[in-house]
């Protein structure tokens, strides 16, 4: 029998929607327990799956089964809201499944949110020992790793300060360092690269690579496809709460990118539910126009391109200082560029009840390819609408960006940068003598 570290069998998690039931007093609870059961209500344990589709609940996970062998490094990928974080919370014993079961064989360390397991009133030093104790480590084991943890986190000057005073970056550095250095047999990591500067992200990836080489089991949730491909030989794709695919990471990533494009085409933006915000302004459509103002499926490199975001405004809300920000990603999720009306000084106040936010790019500098677009709308300082996944793609085809007939080479860089070339004789200092080589 293979050495299994993590095993899930028909795992499911259902959440109730709407307001929570109010807390009952001790007297109410006792009286309810003594009250005779009504006929037809039935006692015993109900089948979780039988009540799963009742009104007022939603399944975050459903019928998820897999097995991970000891020492495997496995990526978990999928769109926002697909159920990835819920899966890791079940495996970390933070939440219980509604149906199915999960087996974890070994000591688990988890980094699921910034500072998971930290007590805000305790100092950084005290939280290191607290986390070690939670993992079941002896004080001598923590002492042995202590200096290494602090050096990696780069928080030594603040070590005896309560962590509630830490910045998000300091919090993340210490939380990751504790999780990675206290030698759990199974390490669960959720979006560790979402916070922190580039240097810290590189340190995280390096440490995770070291952890993997030491033979520990790692489950790594990330939207950074390049990081997943470099660290994880195998990956799981979670889509709409179900396990869509399991296998070689390269093939799973390709399938993931296909699901993004399929969802963008089949679910109208107006009907999307993967969003947050007050709803003061709500995006209803996204499309491209060419330089002549005609709706376009593709745009050419070097030609004018117009991004159009249709919207509706809540008539009860007066909208001032509306900012529409979007970024364009490559196929692996790297942000290529960010744009918003605040950058150009175009202020939007008292916008119409229905309309379009329009961004015109005079010369599109992207090489041929497909580029997802993520957009967020704020009103004042408050988020109004933020679809968590791409609202569509920019399909770019080759064009004569340079005016030379050469389209540029895709695959080496996503950008085309205008410029000119010449050959100039090297300037000589006054009085300098050039020695010509012999004929």
Does residue 239 sit in the same domain as residue 281?
Answer: no
Does residue 236 sit in the same domain as residue 317?
Answer: no
Q: What is the pLDDT of residue 85?
A: 87
- pTM for the full predicted model: 0.63
Does residue 253 have a pLDDT over 80? Answer: yes
Q: What is the pLDDT of residue 66?
A: 95
More confident position, 197 or 58? 58
Does residue 72 sit in the same domain as residue 175?
Answer: yes
Domain assignment present for residue 47? The answer is no
Query: What 3-state DSSP class applies to 287?
Result: strand
Pull the structure tokens for residue 88: 């890791």
Q: What is the mean pLDDT of residues 5-32?
A: 73
Q: What is the mean pLDDT of residues 398-426?
A: 78
Pull the structure tokens for residue 27: 């007297």
Compute CA distances 377 → 283, 341, 348, 371, whole Å: 8, 11, 11, 20
Query: What 3-state DSSP class applies to 19?
Result: coil
Q: Which of 266-275, 311-320, 374-383 has the lowest mean pLDDT?
A: 266-275
Does residue 8 sit in the same domain as residue 141?
Answer: yes
Does residue 295 have a pLDDT over 80? Answer: yes
Which residue among 381, 397, 413 closes a domain? Answer: 397
pLDDT in tens, 270-282: 988 889 999 999 9
Does residue 118 sit in the same domain as residue 158?
Answer: yes
Residue 217 structural domain: 4-16+59-261
Domain assignment present for residue 168? The answer is yes
Q: What is the DSSP string of 374-426?
A: EEEEEETTEEEEEESS-SEEEEEE---TTSSS----TTT-SB---------PP
Closest to 377 measured CA to CA, from 365, 396, 391? 391
Does residue 341 have a pLDDT over 90? Answer: yes
Q: For the beta carbon of residue 80, count every other beta carbon within 10 angstroms.
A: 14
Helix crossing, 168-181 with 198-213: angle to 10°? Answer: 10
Which residue among 242, 261, 280 closes a domain? Answer: 261
More confident position, 198 or 184? 184
Q: Residue 88: which residues within 8 A CB-CB, separation 6 or more?
A: 76, 110, 112, 188, 190, 219, 221
Which residue among 228, 261, 294 closes a domain? Answer: 261
Domain assignment present for residue 349? The answer is yes
Does residue 300 have a pLDDT over 90? Answer: no
Confirm if 175 and 118 have CB atoms less than 8 A apart.
yes
Does residue 178 sit in the same domain as residue 275?
Answer: no
Distance CA 392, CA 146 (A): 47
Does residue 334 sit in the same domain as residue 367?
Answer: yes
Does residue 145 have a pLDDT over 60? Answer: yes
Domain assignment present for residue 35? The answer is no
Share of the chain above pLDDT 90, in %: 34
Q: Residue 212: which residues within 8 A CB-CB, separation 6 or more?
A: 73, 218, 231
Residue with tokens 């009742």, as numbered in its chain: 54
Distance CA 371, CA 305 (A): 13
Domain assignment present for residue 417? The answer is no
Does residue 231 sit in the same domain as residue 275?
Answer: no
Compute CA distances 352 → 125, 247, 347, 349, 365, whole Å: 54, 49, 14, 9, 32
The CATH number given to whatever domain includes residue 369 is 2.70.50.60
The CATH number given to whatever domain includes residue 154 is 3.40.50.300
pLDDT in tens, 49-105: 333 455 578 899 999 999 999 889 999 998 878 899 899 989 988 889 999 999 988
Q: For the beta carbon of residue 89, count every other beta carbon within 10 angstroms.
A: 21
Q: What is the pLDDT of residue 45?
A: 31
Q: For the beta carbon of residue 156, count every other beta carbon within 10 angstroms.
A: 11
Confidence class for position 435, pLDDT limits 50, 70, 90: low
The sign one gets for the Cα dihedral 134, 139, 144, 148 is: positive
State the alpha helices, DSSP H only, in 37-102.
Answer: 84-91
Angle (CA) 130-70-100 rounded to 5° is: 80
Q: What is the mean pLDDT of residues 402-422?
A: 76
Q: What is the pLDDT of residue 99?
A: 93
Confidence class for position 265, pLDDT limits 50, 70, 90: low
Q: Write down the mean pLDDT value for the chain.
A: 82
Domain assignment present for residue 114? The answer is yes
Does residue 376 have a pLDDT over 90? Answer: yes
Confidence class for position 31, pLDDT limits 50, 70, 90: low
Does residue 192 sit in the same domain as residue 314?
Answer: no
Most confident of 10-19, 110-119, 185-194: 10-19
Domain assignment present for residue 429? The answer is no
Distance CA 81, CA 240 (A): 7
Does residue 100 sit in the same domain as residue 226?
Answer: yes
Q: Let me know how long the chain is.
A: 439
Does residue 333 sit in the same domain as residue 209?
Answer: no
Q: What SS3 string covers 184-240?
A: CCEEEEECHHHCCCHHHHHHHHHHHHHHHHCCCEEEEECCCHHHHHHHCCEEEEEEC
Q: What is the mean pLDDT of residues 354-363?
A: 94
Q: Residue 107: which residues within 8 A CB-CB, separation 6 or more?
A: 135, 136, 184, 185, 186
Q: What is the mean pLDDT of residues 305-332?
A: 91
Distance CA 4, CA 69 (A): 4
Distance CA 364, CA 291 (A): 11
99-104, strands of its sheet edge to edge: 57-69, 4-16, 99-104
**Number of domains comprising the chain:** 2
Does residue 299 sit in the same domain as residue 232?
Answer: no
Q: Which of 208-222, 305-319, 348-362 has the lowest mean pLDDT?
A: 208-222
Residue with tokens 């709706």, as numbered in its chain: 295
Q: What is the pLDDT of residue 1?
A: 45
Q: What is the pLDDT of residue 264?
A: 63
Confidence class for position 342, pLDDT limits 50, 70, 90: very high
Domain assignment present for residue 73? The answer is yes
């Amino acid at each position: 029998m293979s050495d299994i570290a993590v095993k899930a069998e028909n795992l499911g998690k259902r959440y109730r929607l709407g307001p929570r039931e109010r807390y009952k007093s001790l007297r109410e609870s006792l009286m309810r327990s003594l009250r005779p059961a009504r006929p037809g209500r039935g006692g015993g344990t109900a089948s979780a799956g039988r009540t799963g589709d009742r009104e007022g609940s939603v399944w975050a996970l459903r019928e998820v089964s897999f097995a991970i062998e000891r020492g495997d490094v496995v990526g978990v990928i999928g769109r926002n809201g697909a159920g990835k974080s819920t899966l890791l919370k079940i495996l970390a014993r933070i939440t219980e499944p509604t149906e199915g079961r999960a087996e974890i064989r070994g000591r688990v360390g988890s980094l699921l949110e910034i500072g998971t397991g930290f007590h805000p009133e305790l100092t950084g030093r005290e939280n290191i020992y607290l986390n070690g104790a939670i993992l079941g480590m002896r004080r001598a084991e923590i002492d042995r790793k202590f200096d290494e943890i602090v050096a990696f986190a780069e928080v030594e000057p603040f070590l005896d300060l309560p962590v509630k005073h830490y910045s998000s970056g300091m919090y993340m550095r210490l939380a990751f360092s504790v999780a990675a250095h206290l030698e759990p047999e199974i390490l669960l990591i959720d979006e560790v690269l979402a916070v922190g500067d580039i240097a810290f992200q590189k340190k995280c990836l390096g440490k995770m690579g070291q952890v993997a080489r030491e033979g520990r089991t790692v489950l790594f949730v990330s939207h950074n496809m390049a990081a997943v491909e470099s660290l994880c030989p195998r990956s799981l794709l979670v889509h709409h709460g179900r396990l869509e695919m399991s296998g070689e990471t390269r093939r799973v990533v390709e399938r993931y990118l296909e699901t993004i494009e399929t969802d963008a085409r089949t679910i109208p933006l107006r009907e999307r539910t993967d969003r947050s915000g007050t709803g003061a302004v709500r995006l209803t459509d996204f499309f491209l126009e060419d330089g002549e103002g005609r709706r376009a499926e593709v745009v050419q490199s070097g030609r004018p391109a117009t991004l159009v975001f249709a919207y509706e405004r809540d008539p009860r809300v007066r909208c001032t200082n509306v900012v529409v920000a979007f970024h364009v990603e490559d196929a692996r999720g790297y942000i290529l560029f960010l744009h918003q009306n605040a950058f150009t000084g175009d202020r939007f106040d008292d916008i119409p009840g229905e309309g379009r936010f329009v961004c015109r790019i005079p010369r599109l500098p992207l090489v041929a390819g497909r580029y997802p677009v993520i957009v967020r709308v704020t009103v004042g300082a408050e988020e109004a609408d933020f679809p968590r996944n791409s609202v569509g793609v920019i399909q770019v085809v080759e064009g004569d960006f340079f005016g030379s007939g050469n389209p540029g080479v895709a695959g080496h860089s996503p950008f085309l940068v205008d410029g000119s070339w010449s050959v100039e004789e090297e300037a000589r200092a006054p009085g300098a003598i050039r020695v010509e080589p012999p004929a």
